Amino acid sequence: MTAGERLAVEAPGAGPAMAIYLHFRGLITSGRLGAGERLPTIRQTARDLAVAQGTAAKAYRMLEREGLVVTGRGAGTRVAAGAARLPAATARRVHELIEHAREHGLELDDLLDAVRAGWDGPDPAPA
Query: What distance in Å separates the CA atoms of residue 62 and residue 117, rounded to the nearest whole number?
Result: 29
Q: Please, which residues bridge with residue 38 across strands?
A: 78
At 4, the pLDDT band (50, 70, 90 cuts) reads very low
> Is pLDDT of 16 > 50?
yes
Of residues 11, 70, 66, the one with CA closest to residue 39? 70
pLDDT grade for 118, boundaries at 50, 70 and 90 = confident
Q: What is the CATH number of domain 16-79?
A: 1.10.10.10
The predicted model scores a pTM of 0.67
- Which part of the chain has CATH 1.10.10.10? 16-79
Q: What is the pLDDT of residue 45?
A: 94
Write down how long the chain is. 127
Tens digit of each residue's pLDDT (9 = 90 or more) over 67-76 = 999 998 888 9
Of 127, 123, 99, which is closest to residue 111 (Cα–Cα)? 99
